[in-house]
Amino acid sequence: MADPAVLAVAEHRRGELREVSFELLTAGRELADAIGGELHVAVVSGDVESHADSLNREGVDAIHTVPVGEEFDHSVYQGSVEALVDAHDPTTVLLPNSVNGLDYAPAVAESLGIPLVTDAIDVAYDDALTVTREQYGSKVETTLAVEGDRFALTIRGGEWPAATGTGEATVESFDVDVDPSDSGARVQGYEEVGGGDVDIADADVLVSVGRGIEEEENLELIFDLAEAMDATVSSSRPIVDNGWLPKNRQVGQSGKVVTPDVYLAIGISGAVQHVAGMKGSETIIAINTDPNAPIFDIADYGIVGDLFDVVPELIDDFE
């Protein structure tokens, strides 16, 4: 087996691979092609064999399974990734820019003595690595030149499409001398916070509402439309800040990143913080009274009109 140009580390939670794991495959393949080498994927803990089957997609050359532990553990992930790097010498270690990824990525980079760039939205390699990040509330994009022969990156979810197709990767179990019982912390369980009725990140169709709805009681109109469309309701930050919807419904930089097939933005102006969380949607439709609203800059389709006139007509059409 050839040494990889990129080692991507998949992420799972409560037995399910997270969508960012498949986005890592796309980003990793692009980077491996630019560097000139293979893409290897590591899956640590849990049902590694099942996860390896799911990750065996087009463009993946090899998958390393580390059957230690069940859920995320800082020491297990750090030790496993460091051992894999020592064994296979990748140019890039690619990790998700998630709560878990950001937990162990700095420790891995520090231990290996390599630079770490977090929250990448684009990467390129032409004899040297350049990484694009957003700053100042997503108002500015900056491009960083990364020095060194080896580096670690975390990528933002929703910026790359998920890898598809069926691959022919070699799958090998990797032995690592890490004992979860030696860790000072372990997962005891999970508790949903801020309302756990839906996960908007899993929705195929989102009907998202902003401050244009004006009053809390008007949300009933949005829920009626979502029911007619077989969609899920989400919102911009002002709706959550007002206490009208729980935090788990919020889309944006301080909420969730979503990539549905259809994103219908109703009464949402399109602030950069919100756009950062939904710009990866396949089709974006906007309804707003302001023809100059920034949301129309990224919308595939737009309706300039009063939502209180437009939404009832949409409900009638879908019913």
112 DSSP assignment: H
pLDDT score of 192: 60
pTM of the model: 0.76
**Beta strand extents in 10-46 (DSSP E only):** 12-13, 16-17, 38-44
- Find the mean pLDDT for residues 310-318: 94
Residues 242-262, buried b or exposed e (16+ Cβ, 10 A)?
Answer: eebbbebbbbbbebbbbbbeb
Round the average pLDDT of the chain to a whole number and report it.
Answer: 91
Q: Comparing 4-182 with 200-318, is the CATH topology the same? A: yes
Single-letter residue type at 93: V
Q: Which two tokens stand for residue 310?
A: 């437009």
Phi, psi for residue 312 in degrees, rounded to 5 = -60, -35
pLDDT mean over 183-211: 78
**How far is the C-alpha of 171 from the C-alpha of 45, rounded, in Å?**
15
* Domain at 200-318, CATH homologous superfamily: TPP-binding domain (3.40.50.1220)
Torsion of CA 194, 23, 12, 172, to 10 degrees: 180
Domains in the chain: boundaries? 4-182, 200-318
Tens digit of pLDDT for each residue in 232-283?
A: 999 999 999 999 999 999 999 888 889 899 999 999 999 988 998 898 899 9
| Residue 177, Cβ density class (10 Å: 0-12 exposed, 13-18 middle, ≥19 buried) | exposed
Name the packing angle between helices 74-88 and 99-112 (round to 10°).
50
CATH fit for domain 4-182, picks 3.40.50.620, 3.40.50.300, 3.30.465.10, 3.30.910.20:
3.40.50.620
Query: Do you know the residue count of the chain?
Result: 319
Kindly give, in sequence order, each residue whose CB lies less than 8 Å from that of residue 242, ignoring residues fewer than 6 positions away. 216
Say what percent of the chain tops pLDDT 90: 77
- Please state, in angstroms and as integers, the Cα–Cα distance from residue 29 to each residue in 4, 39, 155, following that order: 11, 6, 13
pLDDT one-digit tens code per residue, 33-68: 999 999 999 999 999 999 999 999 999 999 999 999
